[in-house]
Each structure stands twice: as C-alpha cells, then as structure tokens.
Amino acid sequence: MDSTTRLAAVLEGLGTALPPRVVTNAELAERLDTSDEWIRTRTGITERRMAGPGVATSDLAVEAGERALKSAGVSEVDLVVVATTTPDHPCPATAPDVASRLGLGPIPAYDMAAVCSGFVYALSGAAGAIASGQAERVLVIGAETFTSIIDPEDRSGAVIFGDGAGAVVLRAGRADEPGALLGFDLGSDGALADLIKIPGGGSRQRAGGLAPDPADSWFTMQGRQVFTNAVKRMADSAGTLLQRIGWPVQSVDRFVGHQANVRILHAVAEQLGVEPERAVINLDKVGNTSAASIPLALGDAAASGDITAGDRVLMSAFGGGVTWGSAALVWPELIVA
C-alpha cells in the first residue's frame, strides 16, 4: 500500500456475549402493570437478558472482546474503545480494565459515551485512528448492563431494556476490500438532552454530600418524543450516508438499525425506501441493549446466515444526547465467535 493511500478500517472479527438469565414478558407482567400483548405489539420484544448481581459491564465486554479477537484470529490490538452508558464506575473508564483483562498490554483504551449511538460513534473514532496511522488494529466493544440503571418499578423502561455486549476487530486495509467501513454520518442535538437522561449523580445534581433524590439516579426517557426523533434522525442520517457513498437505496441488502422498537425500525426502513424485510431484527430476543444493540444484531444475523459475505450493510442508530449516526460496509467473509 503506498503511503498516500488513505487507510480504511476493515472488519475482521465479531463476537457477542449475553448473560444467561432470560426475562420474559410474562415474568415482567407478574410484577408490573403491563402485559405480554402490550409489550409485543408496542415494541416487538418478547424477552431480554439480565446480568446477575455482581456481573458488571466490563465482564460482558471482556467476554465479547475475547470472542471478537478469536473471530479475527489475532491476540494484539493497538487501541480499545468501549461504548457504554453503564460503565462499571463513574470513574475511571471501563476500557482500560477491559484491555488489561484481555491481556492486551499498555495500549490506549477509552470509553465512548453516546448512549444508543455509542457503537457507531466508537466505530467512527476507531476508523479515524486507523486512517491517521495511530492504530493498525482496534477492538471496538459495545457493552451495557442497562438493567442496573432502570428503576425495576418503571414499567416503560423495564419492558424495553436488556443487557449484553458485542465487539468487532477492525484492521487497517483498503477501501475497496470487503469489510471496509465506507463512510459515516454522525450528529447530535444537545437541545434535546432531557429526552433521555439520568438526572442525578453527575456534576449538575451531585452525588456524595449533596445526595440527589434517589429517584433521580434512575434512567428516564420521554418515549413518544424519542420515538419520533429517532425515526427522523435515523432515516435522514442513513439517507445522507447513502448519497455520500453513492449507494442507491435499492442496493442495500441489510439495514441494521439500533434495536429500540420494531415499529421504529420499520418506520425508518419505510422513510428510507428500504423494504421492511431487509431490516435485521433481533430485539424480540434481547430487547434494547443500547450501545451493544448493533453489534449484537450483526452477530445474530451473521451467525444465522441472515447477513452473508457480499451483502451491502447499512447501520444507523439514535440515542441520548441526543445523538445519531450511520455507517456502511460490504460484509466480509467472517466467522462469528
């Protein structure tokens, strides 16, 4: 490769991790004022996973990271990025611990906080590190234990969110190789920050001496407004990216949107002009796993043959901040671990 060629980030490994405990809609309906029918028809979710007490986000991240490294057949990377809204601790970041436990040595490691858009944001950061020559190989992990920040009595949050992790290995390569990330479209609108929020525990409503109202330490979401913003932003962002990389919308084989709600995914597909059957859906089994949702959906689809080598894959996410982002690649030959 000559030194003037811009390096592309090429997908070469993919791994996922889910805690074994399954929480069904029926189980939630036993203790909350909800029903299997409401949850299925309003969200498309039938069950989600829950990490047991004592299991932290880093534990799931390490498991998914190990599998992604195995899938890529490598044991060394130059950078680890962990996208998460549920870090093990407010301080320090989770990524250094994950890198250390994976035996990756004294490499740079940082967390990416963009809530449900975190994985796409982290992919973009990793691709930038590769393009600038700062890293040849990067491990990007989306990992969450959202059940640790959802008030168990909050029926609207408890039915949606679940725990899990997904990870990819990216290596430096050429833009015309299968697996090369072909472009990104990212955005944010902080004027809508209140739509998705944990009010307490940060510098605005401080923990410690001035303890916030305990109710303010739970995750909050204004569902209906998030829904409409998510549809618009994901569709616009994905459409902008398609134009930028010159893919006609009809050429998209698989649309892998953030798995928040099946109605959102179908509405985005419709606005974009992608047939709904092309939308990859795995939220029925895992719920909304925030930053882990896209890599988990990719992992499921690739393992089941729903995504195969040569497919044009379009990803798009929307989350707190608010933030959104899209990315695209032609799927490479890959064995999911």
Cα separation of 293 and 261, whole Å? 11
Helix (H/G/I), strand (E/B), else coil: 16 = strand
> Applying CB under 6 A, does 266 fall inside the site for ligand UT7?
no
Q: How far is the CB of 317 from ligand UT7 (least distance, A)?
A: 8
Identified catalytic residue from 25, 229, 258, 261? 258
Q: How far is the CB of 162 from ligand UT7 (least distance, A)?
A: 11
Binding letters toward ligand UT7, positions 275-314, x by CB under 6 A: -------------x-x------------------------
Q: How far is the CB of 125 from ligand UT7 (least distance, A)?
A: 20
User: What is the identity of the amino acid at 257?
Assistant: G
Strands (DSSP E) along 132-251, which ranges? 137-145, 163-173, 181-188, 196-197, 220-221
For residue 134, give the nearest of 170, 93, 180, 102 by alpha carbon: 170
Q: How far is the CB of 96 from ligand UT7 (least distance, A)?
A: 26
Positions in 40-69 near ligand UT7 (CB under 6 A): 42-43
Q: How far is the CB of 208 from ligand UT7 (least distance, A)?
A: 29
Clarify whether 258 is annotated catalytic: yes
Host H or E run for residue 11: strand 8-17
Clarify whether 266 is annotated catalytic: no
Clarify whether 282 is annotated catalytic: no
Token pair of 277 as six digits: 């059957």
For residue 143, give the nearest of 324, 315, 19 by alpha carbon: 19
> Applying CB under 6 A, does 269 fall inside the site for ligand UT7?
no
Binding letters toward ligand UT7, positions 144-163, x by CB under 6 A: -----------xx--xx---
Q: Which of 126, 226, 286, 314: binder of ligand UT7 (CB under 6 A)?
A: 226
Nearer to ligand UT7, 109 or 226 (CB): 226
CB 186 within 8 A of CB 325: yes
Residue 232, burial from CB neighbour count under 10 angstroms (0-12, 13-18, 19+): middle
Nearer to ligand UT7, 36 or 216 (CB): 36
Looking up tokens 């490691």, which residue turns up?
A: 109
**Measured CA distances, 22 to 3, 29, 61, 116, 304 (Å):** 50, 14, 19, 21, 20
Region near ligand UT7 per CB under 6 A, out of 8-16, 34-42, 97-105, 303-311: 34-42
> Applying CB under 6 A, does 223 fall inside the site for ligand UT7?
yes
CB 86 within 8 A of CB 118: no
Q: How far is the CB of 325 from ligand UT7 (least distance, A)?
A: 13
Identified catalytic residue from 25, 229, 261, 288? 288
CB-side exposure of 42: number of CA atoms within 13 Å?
A: 15
Q: Which of 173, 319, 321, 332: binder of ligand UT7 (CB under 6 A)?
A: 319
Using Cβ positions, the residue closest to ligand UT7 within the complex turns out to be: 223
Q: Cβ neighbours of residue 254 under 8 Å, at least 6 residues apart?
A: 278, 279, 280, 301, 306, 307, 311, 312, 313, 314, 331
Cα separation of 165 and 21, whole Å? 14
User: What is the identity of the amino acid at 93?
Assistant: A
Residues with a known catalytic role: 116, 258, 288
Residues that bind ligand UT7 (CB under 6 A): 34, 38, 42-43, 116, 155-156, 159-160, 223-224, 226-227, 230, 260-261, 264, 288, 290, 318-319
